[in-house]
C-alpha cells in the first residue's frame, strides 16, 4: 500500500491477487452466480484521511466508481458531484433487535437527491453506512440502474448473510448486449464491496465438489486441511476460510442441544434453520449449503449443540487435531 503524505487525504493502491483457480486458492464469488472474481488493482482515495471515513474506490480499466462513507459524513457525501448522476446505492447497518446486519438497496437518477429523502425517513434508523456506485463516463441509464438494483437485491437475499429491507425487485428488461455489459459492471461492484466493508454479496468459494460426503477425496483449499467434527455418530466437515471457518454442505449436526448450550449458539442455530441452511433430516440437522462461521469454535459448538474445544474437536483424516496443526510445539 502507498499512502499520500497529506494529512487531509490519502490514496491507497491495493493490488488484489485472488487466484482464479478453485483448486489452488479460495476466491471471492457472487452469492447468486458463483462467478469467480478476476485479479484486479483497486485504488482507494481517503477524502479526509480516515480509512473508515468518506472515500472513493475505483478498479483499473473499469468505468464505474464507488463512493462510500459513514452516515456521520452524509453532508459531505451528498456534496459529491458524481452523485448528482444516475447510480445505485446501499444503506447498511445493524438490526437493533437481532444484531444482524441490515441492508437497503436502491437506485436513482440523482443519487444525492434520493439519499436526502432517505435521511428524513425515521424508519431507516438502522442506516449507519452508505455506498454508492456511478459511472465515470455517465453511460448509466434508468434501465441500467434498475437492472443492477434488481440483481443486487436477488443476490443479497440469496446470500442469507444479511436482512434485506427490500422485497424482490423485478429489475429492468435490457437487450442481450446491455445485460452482458451490466453483469460485468455488477461483478466489479461486488469485487469492490468487501473493500468498502460490505461482505453480504460474496461467499468464500472453496470447490464446486466440496461437501461432507466427498471432503476426504477433494481438498478444496490446499493451504488449509479439511477437518471433521464428530458427535453421536454424526460428522461435519470443513476448513478455515477467509472470514472464519466454513462447514461444508452435507455436514450433520445434532438436532437437540444440551441444556447448558450457550444461548447465543441456540439462537444462531435457530436462525440457520429459519434461513434453510440447516434442514431437519430424520433425527438430526443437515447443512443444505456451505456455511461460514466466525471461528472454528462457533462452528464446532453449533455442530455439537454444546460448548466444546474447537482445537481438539476438529480432526483430519489422519487424526491430527487443529491444535496439532496450528500449535505443534504446545
200 shares a domain with 131: yes
* Span 25-45, pLDDT tens digits: 334 444 444 556 678 899 999
22 shares a domain with 161: yes
pLDDT at 91 over 90: yes
Residue 122 banded pLDDT, cuts 50, 70, 90: confident
Which pLDDT value is given to residue 1?
40
140 domain-assigned: yes
pLDDT at 140 over 80: yes
Q: List the one residue out of 299, 294, 291 whose CA is nearest residue 275.
A: 291
Q: Would you give the DSSP letter of residue 173? A: -
- Neighbouring CB atoms inside 10 A of 153's CB total 22
pLDDT at 326 over 70: yes
Which pLDDT value is given to residue 20?
30
163 shares a domain with 63: yes
Which pLDDT value is given to residue 217?
35
Whether 248 contacts 287, CB under 8 Å: yes
**Tally of residues, the chain:** 330
Which pLDDT value is given to residue 35?
53
pLDDT at 54 over 60: yes
3 domain-assigned: no
Which pLDDT value is given to residue 203?
55
User: Rounded to whole angstroms, how far apart are CA atoms 155 and 170?
Assistant: 13
Number of separate domains in the chain: 2
1 domain-assigned: no
Which pLDDT value is given to residue 18?
34
60 shares a domain with 123: yes
Whether 74 contacts 119, CB under 8 Å: yes
pLDDT at 297 over 60: yes
Which pLDDT value is given to residue 172?
81
1: its cell numbers: 500500500
198 domain-assigned: yes
176 shares a domain with 118: yes
Stretch 144-171: mean pLDDT: 87
Give the residue numbers spanning the domain of 172. 10-204
CA 308-310-316 angle, to 5 degrees, is 130
Lowest mean pLDDT among 5-9, 96-100, 232-236: 5-9
224 shares a domain with 188: no
247: its cell numbers: 462447514
The rounded percent of the chain whose pLDDT value lies above 90 is: 62
User: Rounded to whole angstroms, how far apart are CA atoms 177 and 144?
Assistant: 12
Higher pLDDT, 4 or 107: 107
User: Rounded to whole angstroms, how far apart are CA atoms 250 and 248?
Assistant: 6
Using the 3D structure, point to which of 204, 239, 259 is the last residue of a domain: 204
User: Rounded to whole angstroms, how far apart are CA atoms 292 and 302?
Assistant: 12
300 shares a domain with 159: no
In the chain, which residue ranges form alpha helices assigned H by DSSP? 74-78, 111-119, 142-159, 176-192, 263-274, 296-304, 310-313, 322-326
Using the 3D structure, point to which of 185, 204, 223 is the last residue of a domain: 204
176 shares a domain with 90: yes
Whether 216 contacts 210, CB under 8 Å: no
43 domain-assigned: yes
pLDDT at 134 over 90: yes
Higher pLDDT, 104 or 12: 104
Query: What is residue 63's three-state secondary structure?
Result: coil
Whether 74 contacts 115, CB under 8 Å: yes
Number of H helices, E strands in the chain: 8, 17
260-271 as b/e: b if 16+ CB within 10 A: ebeeebeebbee
Amino acid at each position: 500500500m502507498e499512502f499520500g503524505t497529506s494529512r487531509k487525504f490519502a490514496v491507497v493502491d491495493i493490488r488484489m491477487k485472488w487466484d482464479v483457480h478453485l483448486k489452488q486458492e479460495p476466491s471471492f464469488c457472487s452469492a447468486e452466480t458463483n462467478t469467480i472474481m478476476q485479479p484486479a488493482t483497486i485504488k482507494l482515495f481517503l477524502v479526509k484521511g480516515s480509512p473508515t471515513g468518506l472515500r472513493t474506490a475505483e478498479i483499473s480499466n473499469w468505468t464505474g466508481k464507488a463512493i462510500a462513507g459513514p452516515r456521520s459524513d452524509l453532508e459531505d457525501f451528498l456534496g459529491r458531484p458524481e452523485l448528482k448522476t444516475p447510480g445505485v446505492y446501499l444503506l447498511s447497518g445493524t438490526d437493533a433487535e437481532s444484531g444482524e446486519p441490515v441492508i437497503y438497496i436502491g437506485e436513482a437518477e440523482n443519487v444525492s437527491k434520493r439519499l436526502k429523502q432517505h435521511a428524513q425517513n425515521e424508519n431507516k434508523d438502522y442506516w449507519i453506512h452508505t455506498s454508492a456506485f456511478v459511472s465515470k463516463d455517465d453511460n448509466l441509464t434508468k434501465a441500467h440502474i434498475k437492472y443492477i438494483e434488481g440483481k443486487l437485491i436477488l443476490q443479497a437475499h440469496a446470500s442469507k448473510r444479511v436482512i434485506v429491507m427490500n422485497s424482490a425487485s423485478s429489475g429492468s428488461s435490457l437487450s442481450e448486449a446491455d445485460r452482458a455489459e451490466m453483469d460485468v459492471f455488477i461483478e466489479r461492484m461486488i469485487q469492490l464491496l468487501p473493500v468498502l466493508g460490505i461482505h453480504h454479496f460474496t461467499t468464500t468459494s472453496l470447490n464446486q465438489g466440496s461437501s461432507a460426503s466427498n471432503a476426504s477425496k477433494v481438498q478444496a483449499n490446499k493451504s488449509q486441511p479439511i477437518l471433521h467434527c464428530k458427535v453421536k455418530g454424526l460428522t461435519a466437515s470443513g476448513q478455515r476460510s477467509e472470514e472464519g471457518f466454513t462447514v461444508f454442505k452435507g455436514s450433520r449436526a445434532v438436532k437437540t442441544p444440551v441444556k447448558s448450550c450457550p444461548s447465543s449458539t441456540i439462537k444462531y442455530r435457530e436462525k440457520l434453520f429459519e434461513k434453510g441452511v440447516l434442514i431437519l433430516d430424520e433425527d438430526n440437522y443437515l447443512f443444505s449449503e456451505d456455511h461460514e462461521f466466525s471461528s472454528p469454535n462457533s462452528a464446532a459448538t453449533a455442530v455439537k449443540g454444546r460448548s466444546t474445544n474447537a482445537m481438539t474437536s476438529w480432526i483430519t483424516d489422519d487424526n491430527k487435531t487443529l491444535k496439532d496443526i496450528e500449535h505443534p510445539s504446545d
